[in-house]
Amino acid sequence: MKTFVSSLFSLSLMASISYGASAPTLDLVWPPHGHHYGALRSSFIFGSVQPPSARVTVNGQPLPVYKTGAFLAVVPLSPGAFSFRLQATSEGGQAELTRDVVVDPSAEPSPWRAGEFDPVNYLRKGPRRVCRMKDDLVTVTTGPDKDLGYQAFLPKGVLSAVTGSWGKFLRLGFGNQWVGWVSREVVTLLPEGTPVPHSVLGSLTVTTAAGSTLISIPLEAQQPFRVEQVLDPVRFKLFLYGVTADMDKVNYGSDVSCVKDIRWKQLDDSLCELDITTNQRSGWGYDVRYEGTQMIFEIRHAPPLHRSLGRPLAGLVVALDAGHSSADPGATGPLRTHEDAINLLVARQLEAKLKSMGAGVVMVRKEDEVLDLLRRTRIAWSARAHLFISLHENSIADSGNPLEDSGFSIYYWAPQSRPLAEAVHAAYQANIPFKDRGISYDNLAVCRMTQMPSILTESAFLIVPEQEAMLLDPAFRDRIAGTIAQGIQQYLKKAVP
């Protein structure tokens, strides 16, 4: 981390360095050499020149240069082999730089998107096969493409029928009404003749433990499932595939449980729905897991806040995720500022603010650890955090225009996370002087965790020179940290009155 901080400090001083009469230096950060563009008519480039007073052109057209020496411009493209030719001129001389890229002449959709997809391309003739989820959390998509919509997330060990295949993907059949697709790599095919699992659902038991309500659901195999969450009031619909109900009894146990009522419906001969109504004011997270063949549906209670003057967040535990790492630095600015370093600096400043307000803080990434996305959410859940905040700075796709579309934005996925996203977004509107890009429901990996309200913040566009310069200023990073802390406090006033 010392290396990150020193490099950021050096960058912040660049504009004040005296270069005398030496020749200018050009650094084109984006695009890289050989970059392959889609069928675009224009795209952006960014980098820097020193001294900042140098005049810069790209393919003969002048480039605006920010006071730090950073530049960002949208440049026309033409199909085929294409070159960006930059020239910088100052009193000390000239510098030139050429960057060669390739631009597609037209878009080429994948074959199945073009109408050639046959949904009855069976794995083999004969009985259905059965597979077991092999990864810790398997993503089930709407079609044979990892970039398509996500339908469900199944834990390791869940069994499912396989009804077809397409390339590297297997089609799963859940009961009679629902299909989904998974990569072959994340499942294990069981021997031919393995029967498709089916379970009879017996009586349920409701208990409480460690700030949660636990519903024990006895099954005969680890059946596939899907959860729908509704707010106002907080309610869950749990769909159990390959399950027939024989549920004569629900033991509600202690009166401190948050479960108000559980009803069931047999929607068809292999699909059972549990309708779980709670007495909760706000959703604080849920977890679905198997212990052997018994499913545990855990509903978390509100945090035990014990607010006092000067400590409005006492009793709350917040997990702070400084996005990326040096192995995957995220966005890079025109001055080669790395997003992972900025994120960690903001996280540390936010940690200090939250602790001063009485909150406990779990730093998901303390230094330059390389953590995959699932590991980040597991750290937060292992610590039983009440909120998860993932801190990021933004860039944009080749087809975008950062000169027109840049600023702050907040992302969430689970319904329970929307109120937190709204409160933090309102704080950004009041405090951050950038374009408001709004709140987005987005299927981001760190937002998908259901065990607590989880959001991702994009505070600024690192590739925009002015916003990069502000992110290099500790006072502005402190402003971001204070904004998020303010949003959390406002959220709690409504969620836990």
- Residues 315-359: tens digit of each pLDDT: 999 999 999 998 999 999 999 999 999 999 999 999 999 999 999
**Contacts for 282 with CB less than 8 Å, ≥ 6 apart:** 231, 234, 302, 416, 419, 494, 495, 496
Q: Are 304 and 290 in contact (CB under 8 A)?
A: no
Percent of the chain with pLDDT over 70: 91
| pLDDT digits 0-9 by tens, 172-223 | 998 777 889 999 999 999 999 999 999 999 999 999 998 999 999 999 999 9
| pLDDT digits 0-9 by tens, 88-147 | 999 989 999 999 999 999 755 554 444 444 444 454 445 579 999 999 999 999 999 888
Percent of the chain with pLDDT over 90: 81
| pLDDT digits 0-9 by tens, 391-402 | 999 999 999 999
- The Cβ of residue 16 has, within 10 Å, a number of other Cβ atoms equal to 7
Same domain, 135 and 88: no
Distance CA 445, CA 140 (A): 13
Strands 55-58 and 80-90: antiparallel
pTM of the model: 0.90
Closest listed residue to residue 420, CA positions, set 389, 377, 449, 374: 389
Q: Are 101 and 107 in contact (CB under 8 A)?
A: no
Q: Which of 55, 70, 103 is the last residue of a domain?
A: 103
Same domain, 212 and 257: yes
Confidence of residue 72 (pLDDT cuts 50, 70, 90): very high
**Contacts for 330 with CB less than 8 Å, ≥ 6 apart:** 323, 324, 338, 339, 340, 343, 392, 393, 395, 462
Same domain, 219 and 249: yes
Q: Are 411 and 458 in contact (CB under 8 A)?
A: yes
Same domain, 37 and 180: no
Query: Is 68 inside a domain boundary?
Result: yes
| pLDDT digits 0-9 by tens, 281-317 | 999 999 999 999 999 999 999 999 988 888 999 999 9
Position 233, amino acid = P
Same domain, 455 and 342: yes
Domain housing 385: 317-495
Whether the pLDDT of residue 156 is over 70: the answer is: yes
Query: Is 307 inside a domain boundary?
Result: no
Q: Where are the beta strands (DSSP E) in 280-382?
A: 286-291, 294-300, 317-322, 360-363
Whether the pLDDT of residue 2 is over 80: the answer is: no
Same domain, 133 and 276: no
Q: Are 392 and 425 in contact (CB under 8 A)?
A: no
Tokens 């905040």 belong to residue = 389
Number of domains in the chain: 4
Q: What angle do CA 50, 53, 59 make, to 5 degrees?
A: 75
Q: Are 273 and 264 in contact (CB under 8 A)?
A: yes
Q: Are 444 and 417 in contact (CB under 8 A)?
A: no
Query: Is 449 inside a domain boundary?
Result: yes
Same domain, 152 and 227: no
Average pLDDT, the chain: 91
